[in-house]
Structure 1
Amino acid sequence: MQKRIQYLDIIKVISIFLVVFCHFVLLSETVPANILMVACWSGVPMFFMVNGALLFTRPLKLEKHIRKTILIYIVLVAWRLIYLFTVGPLCQISPLGFGRNQILTYLFTFGSLDGIGTGHLWFIEALLAVYLVFPLFRIAWDHQAGRKIILFFAAFGILMTNGLTGLQMLLDALCAKGLIGVYSLEGLEILNPFGTYANMLGFFLFGAWLHTAGTFKNSLTAQRLLGLLLSAAGLLGMWGVKWYTSKNPAWDGILLVQGYRHLPVVLLAAGIFLACRGLKIRNRAINAAVTAVASRTLGIYYLHWIFGWMLVPYMALLFSGFNIGTNLLKTVALIIPAFLLTLLLEKIPVIKHLVTG
């Protein structure tokens, strides 16, 4: 069994916490709540960076990788089926109300069914897309020229999504002030060979590069300071984007549109990654807890969605008002049962693949 890398485990724990924090929100309309919510957009990109860091530093066994990719698809289909018969009834929607073709499309081609909330599964779909092209990049990784190509595609994928989004926002702002006419960059999407998930492929490749690059200025202190500065710039930038788009500096109950496609999230995710890189946990109990959660983030990711629909409506009735504390409590209340059920399921043959991939 491959030895775990502590700082990557730390990043995974931060990431799953951010992901669960921004689902089933119990927050008041305050500026700190808004800042915390925009921070959550770094969670999924960091998951991709960790995956890249791990996969690019392991030998490529093509047959094993193909089996793993197929398994990701099968598990995704299985969870879509589980959600159909759990989230559906919890939302008072009967699976019998859908036609056969609707259900087949929903299960096997990533379609949607009215009332069956599965929007969070886009992460697994993106991961599947990245796994499909990974062998090509992994083969190139062992060559100096190949690594330069990989870095180019990492930058290209992020710029063709996050960069174009930022540039379009700038053009729209100038247009709104009457300084220029209407310009749309939508046609440039044709130059993006990786389509919808190009930025996630970029984060995946970027994570491999950051993981294997030398320490910044040969100093962990300098590297962590750089990471903190990038994180702060990214966080303030994301807050600024949300403020600009919603015209409100406080949390307004509405998620940022295309939150993963804004440039500041790149700074935030990279900053947290650099700040954490090389971190070691001295306390054995804390290290054991971090490892336990980090090794079960997939199960927590899938299961917290069901517990959210089960528990949060009742939790909301317990509070006279919402704030950051109530949302933190909700986050812990979803992670703990999802973690415990993952522990149980991973001991059952075949079923364990639902939570271990």
Structure 2
Amino acid sequence: MKPRIIGYDIAKSLAMLFVVILHYSFYTRYYSSGVAGTLLTTLCVACVPLFFAVNGALLLPRPLDIRKHLNKTVTIVAVLAVWKTIVALFCVFVDRTHPAPIGTLIKNFLRFQLGGGFGDYPVGYFWFMNALLAVYLIYPLVKLMFDDPGRIALRAALGVIFVLTVGKDTLVVLLDMLGAATNHELASILGSLDEFYIFGSYGYVLLYFTVGGLVARAMMPEGLKGGVAGIRWPLRAINRPIAALLIVLCYAISFGIQRFQHATKGTNLTIDYGYWLLPTFAATILALMLCLTVRTQIPPIRVPAETVGRNTFGIYMLHMMAIVLFAKAQAHPALAAVFEAHLNSGAITTVLNLVCVLILFACCLGVSVVLRHIPGVRTLFTV
């Protein structure tokens, strides 16, 4: 068995925790949308980019086995079909907040299986798996460019993707700010650039996936065979302490963008184009690099990181059902009183909600750990 690289487990654990925090903030009853709550959710904007960067780092440096890749893709499709059925049943028979006629439910279920939503139920988080499948479908082509010694095709493709995702949408935000200062709407100037972009809304996903692979190759020159001992810091001009400070700076810039969007558009908790923006891109790549340099074997750090790292898929599939159940439980007077007693303090409410997130996270982790050891069920948690 190949030794696990703890840096990947740490990165996946952080990304998964950020996902749960972000979704919790949207779907529970008493999350603070003020400054304190937004400080936390702004930190979570790197969740999806970090997940895709880790996927690329783990997959791209490996030799391509096309049969294994096709089997993996088919397995993901089948497992997702089962999970979507489970979630649909949960929505209809447990959530029941958006009842619909049987004919509409059948149509919504078929749409759900093919990548859409399930009526008005909160199942939008499945878009992540749709995006991952989209990457898997063109992975052989990406791998072909990735392995090209000249890397000309890869550089050209990444250049186009970067300009029309991170570059364009960062410029959109800057034009929004300039427009607010001059009382002119300017961002729509760039709207038609999407006409020239073949990858659609998932282009930035491919960018993070591919750059994640480049980070892995740069930090482990011999590929995955290098193991923990083969990991090296690839940047000469930026050492690790400076990289950490740059991540803090990127976070501060992201929070400033969020506050601007809140003031001008009423955006709460999240950031418009958040996954696409340059500060997010820089922070994600630097965070992945810093995680990969962690080599500790101290059990109190290694064991939890590995446990979460092995179960991120299970946590992801379970977390929204856990959040919905918790939101229903908050209607109970005793639990509601705990939150309502602190509504005037955004900081206390945010800390209280963070504690609840950690409890839900631990519950989903526990369920995943148990169920992945049951024959016949294991596949649903080990994709």
Tell whether the structures are fold-level matches, with TM greater than 0.5.
yes
Deviations 1:93-115, CA, capped at 9 Å, x for gaps? 44754436523532332122333
- The answer (yes or no) to whether the contact 1:151–1:209 under 8 Å persists in 2 is no
- Asked if the contact 1:226/1:271 (under 8 Å) is kept, the reply is no
* Count of aligned residue pairs for this structure pair: 352
Q: What residue in structure 2 maps to residue 198 of structure 1?
A: 203
Correspondence for 1:286 = 301
Deviation at 1:252, TM superposition (A): 7.4
Q: 1:255 aligns with which of 266, 270, 283?
A: 270
Cross-structure match for 1:344:
370
Alignment of 1:262-281 (within 5 A): 262-281=277-296
Q: CA deviation at 1:179?
A: 7.7
Distance 2:36 2:300 in 1: 31
Distance in 1 of aligned mates of 2:56 and 2:16: 17
State the identity %. 26
Consecutive unaligned residues of structure 1, counting only runs of 5 or more, are none
Shift in Å, 1:39: 1.1
Report the equivalent of 1:79.
83
Identify the residue that residue 123 of structure 2 maps to in structure 1. Answer: 118
Is residue 2:305 matched to residue 1:301? no
Alignment of 1:4 onto 2:8: no
Give the 3-state SS of the residue equivalent to 2:239 in structure 1: helix
Q: Secondary structure at the match of 1:255?
A: coil
Rounded Cα–Cα distance in structure 2 between residues aligned with 1:213 and 1:28: 41
Match of 1:70 among 65, 74, 80: 74
Query: Would you say 1:138 and 2:143 are equivalent positions?
Result: yes
Conserved 8 A contact 2:131-2:205:
yes
C-alpha change, 1:95 and 1:150, in structure 2 (3 Å) is: farther
Residue in 2 that maps onto 1:128: 133
Task: Give the CA deviation at 1:254.
Answer: 4.2
- Aligned twin of 2:191: 186
Q: Deviations over 1:236-284 (max 9, x none)?
A: 1211111111118xx9754323321222211221221122221112312
Closer/same/farther in 2, CA of residues 101 and 36 from structure 1, 3 Å limit: same
| Matched-pair contact (CA < 8 Å) for 2:111–2:118 | yes
**CA pair 309-92 structure 1, distance change in 2 beyond 3 A:** same
Give the 3 Å change call, closer, same or farther, for CA 119–7 of structure 1 in structure 2: same
In structure 2, distance between residues paired with 1:163 and 1:68: 33
- Letter of the structure 2 residue corresponding to residue 142 of structure 1: D
Q: Deviations over 1:221-242 (max 9, x none)?
A: x532232133112201211111
| Distance change >3 Å, CA 47–CA 181, structure 1 → 2 | closer
Residues 102, 72 of structure 1: CA spacing in aligned structure 2 closer, same or farther, 3 A cutoff? same
Q: 1:281–1:327: structure 2 CA closer, same or farther, 3 Å change rule? A: farther
Secondary structure at the residue paired with 1:113?
A: coil
Map of 2:329 onto structure 1: 314
Q: Is the 8 A contact 1:238 1:264 kept in 2?
A: yes
- Partners of 2:109 and 2:118 within 8 A in 1: no
Structure 1 residues 102, 348: closer, same or farther in 2, change over 3 A? same
Counterpart code for 2:75: L
Matched, 1:209 2:209: no
Is 2:5–2:292's contact at 8 Å kept on the other side of the alignment? no
Supply the distance in 2 between the matched residues of 1:165 and 1:62 (Cα, whole angstroms): 35
Contact 1:224 1:276 in 2 (8 A): no
Aligned amino acid, residue 348 of structure 1: I
The alignment's C-alpha RMSD in Å is 2.5
- Report the equivalent of 1:15: 15
Distance 1:87 1:337 in 2: 20
> Normalising to structure 1: TM-score of the pair?
0.89
The answer to whether structure 1 residue 238 and structure 2 residue 254 are counterparts is yes
Corresponding position: 1:28 with 2:32: yes
Matched letter for residue 46 of structure 1: L
What is the CA–CA distance in structure 2 between the aligned matches of 1:136 and 1:97, rounded to whole Å? 42
Q: Deviations over 1:201-236 (max 9, x none)?
A: 1000111111221523569xx532232133112201
Could you tell me whether the CA contact under 8 Å between 1:226 and 1:274 is conserved in 2? no
Q: Would the alpha carbon gap of residues 256 and 313 (structure 1) be closer, same or farther in structure 2, given more than 3 Å must change? A: farther
Asked whether the equivalents of residues 15 and 51 of structure 2 are also in contact (C-alpha less than 8 Å), the reply is yes
Counterpart position of 2:345: none
Separation of aligned partners in 1, 2:86 and 2:163: 36
* CA distance, structure 1, for counterparts of residue 47 and residue 370 of structure 2: 26
